[in-house]
Structure 1
């Protein structure tokens, strides 16, 4: 109860502080009902579109008021709390007779308001089968309304939270391919590529059929379009993201590029086959391969790993974890084609 009171108090406090500015900007900043432009999933590059093509007349973004959000979440009932992201708690709710996930951004985070607007602008204008859909928002109180995915996060399923069964190896390879497909879509969005900055198993959600979708895209910064097509793409930024998954070169320089996400992707891929925490997982797998004993570090909950294919997957993941951006493989031409091959085994 105390936590509920604190959450609501923080939301109300932030709203009060921002009310004057909100009113001034209401016409321009208010999230209007808009049509979203989806992308089909094709093989490799054909899967990837931009947010400037193919209008979907059936997909609508909606603005909610705080009364609707409160009723939909039973007034932020703690029993409905399903997660705690870096920017605030997440509650399961019902809006428009549909199960949803409501993220209530914490007002005590300096990037909170900026991140909120980023997520609204980015996810409100992008739709892809492997990106969590932003259904709507409550701008005045910093709430985001997402589609609800029944199987929770990849992290929870890898660690078999609530005694869920282990994920079969075929499904793991499929999940990896889907994550890469969604990420390439973000990286190829025009006019400016989107860098996620916080890829990790906790930010990959799974629907009832174990289709994977990237969430928390709002952490991303947009890379300047003038260098969008270059091999290395940088944007000055403050360090953000979860430590074990952060590109070492980015940690040292503060220079962000699309290949910063590739490092995170590699760490996550190694977790997909080992089921182990991110700390030291790259070195663990590297040593196992050097000793011709990869099987010793694979997730033992899966008993039928295909030897050669898993070795190929592990080597590719390790290349993604190279210390220098320039040494990491390209997502479109190297990583995704290999993942598609493994997915189709």
Structure 2
């Protein structure tokens, strides 16, 4: 936990505002030698207090490579401290606000899979599955390498532990929570929320990744393009030369997630994530990066590409942090030796990172293999 004095000092008296939402304001700060994002919730708003308690309860118990990491809090003043995401929100980048460069098409396939994997993780938490309920591009943050992480779990619903996978539905007596255009139609009509509610929102995000268009009327536009075999007409041209077949498949998957009835939407884990994984692998094979003549120890043993954030695991080997964090989500053995890891601690390999940065500065750069 942090004191108010530490929060005030970290933000230079809240001098750098980087975002504002319905529940609070976000400032950039510097704490314990790290850049951080500090959300200060509206102090006179009861819903903000609930938002704070919910976010603290959820994020203090879970860790996933594609969920925004909570670093601490200042409960007395309703402050939440998160890791800082250099590239802002997915919404900002899709709309290219402040002149930011477009997200390449192959990164968009990967981002869709990352979001899906985080949702599957939330839905699989024990003893209580978690439904996000407010997934949208504004709540997906991007780090310096465009790795995505879902944030803003303050509206999430913790399901009763006794509910089964096929019957995770809760009736909400309070008003609807979430954002129009991403809200499950069944939830709007009945007040019942389920894991398929997040599937619906993911479908809309997928269509926005493909088109970079406003969500108003977007499903109808994409559906018409798919039916006419003209998906290229609606793709975001700034993303580069899309592979048409895979873009069509991703669009169809997004539309399937947007079915009006939850029972008609595909299962997130066994169908949606599997298909997103297939498309991600195709994208990686087409755009896989390697550096010509790069030293082998610069490459991650998992990704086979040059590392940007190398970290040392307990097996003594160095990996790209995001790849190793994903590996450790469901494995406790070394990716290299297959022996059981002593622990899951990851330490930054600063000397290797410095060497890679020097090498890149001297002319090394990612190219297609």
Q: TM-score normalised to the size of structure 2?
A: 0.74
Which aligned pairs between 1:160-239 and structure 2 lie closer than 5 A?
Answer: 160-237=96-173, 238-239=175-176
Q: Hey, what does 1:97 align to over in structure 2?
A: 33
Given the alignment, which residue of 4, 10, 34 partners 1:72? 10
Given the alignment, which residue of 118, 123, 129 partners 2:65? 129
Give the aligned length: 281
Q: Is the 8 A contact 1:224 1:235 kept in 2?
A: no
The Cα of 1:207 is off from its aligned counterpart by 0.7
Change (3 A) 1:303 1:187: same
Q: Is the 8 A contact 2:105 2:240 kept in 1?
A: no
Q: Any idea what SS the aligned residue of 2:166 has?
A: coil
Q: Structure 1 runs of 4+ off > 3 angstroms?
A: none
Q: Hey, what does 1:149 align to over in structure 2?
A: 85
Measure the CA separation in 2 of the matches of 1:185 and 1:97: 30
Q: Hey, what does 1:293 align to over in structure 2?
A: 230
The Cα of 1:292 is off from its aligned counterpart by 1.9
The answer on 1:271 being equivalent to 2:208 is: yes
The Cα of 1:303 is off from its aligned counterpart by 3.5
Measure the CA separation in 1 of the matches of 2:63 and 2:154: 14
Q: Is the 8 A contact 1:186 1:194 kept in 2?
A: yes
Q: Is the 8 A contact 1:232 1:326 kept in 2?
A: no
Q: Is the 8 A contact 2:159 2:168 kept in 1?
A: no
The answer on 1:330 being equivalent to 2:267 is: yes
Residues 58-85 of structure 1, C-alpha deviations (whole Å, 9 max, x = no match)? xxxxx011111111111112xx111112
Which aligned pairs between 1:16-55 and structure 2 lie closer than 5 A?
Answer: none
Q: Any idea what SS the aligned residue of 2:25 has?
A: strand
Measure the CA separation in 2 of the matches of 1:330 and 1:233: 15
The Cα of 1:236 is off from its aligned counterpart by 2.1
The Cα of 1:330 is off from its aligned counterpart by 0.5
Q: Hey, what does 2:182 align to over in structure 1?
A: 245
The answer on 1:255 being equivalent to 2:192 is: yes
Residues 234-282 of structure 1, C-alpha deviations (whole Å, 9 max, x = no match)? 3425301111111111011111111111111000100000000111110
Measure the CA separation in 1 of the matches of 2:88 and 2:140: 8
Structure 2's unaligned 5+ residue stretches are 283-369
Q: Any idea what SS the aligned residue of 1:337 has?
A: helix
The Cα of 1:226 is off from its aligned counterpart by 1.5
Q: Is the 8 A contact 1:83 1:91 kept in 2?
A: yes
The Cα of 1:168 is off from its aligned counterpart by 1.0
Q: Is the 8 A contact 1:149 1:208 kept in 2?
A: yes
Q: Is the 8 A contact 1:247 1:263 kept in 2?
A: yes
Residues 66-119 of structure 1, C-alpha deviations (whole Å, 9 max, x = no match)? 111111111112xx1111122111000011121100000113433111111111
Q: TM-score normalised to the size of structure 1?
A: 0.79
Deviates more, 1:300-309 or 1:222-231: 222-231
The Cα of 1:166 is off from its aligned counterpart by 1.1
Residues 275-307 of structure 1, C-alpha deviations (whole Å, 9 max, x = no match)? 001111101101111222111111121341111
Q: Is the 8 A contact 1:232 1:259 kept in 2?
A: no
CA RMSD in angstroms, aligned pairs only: 1.1
The Cα of 1:232 is off from its aligned counterpart by 4.7
Residues 192-219 of structure 1, C-alpha deviations (whole Å, 9 max, x = no match)? 1111010000100011111100000121
Richer in helix (by share): 1
Deviates more, 1:126-135 or 1:235-244: 235-244
Measure the CA separation in 2 of the matches of 1:162 and 1:76: 22
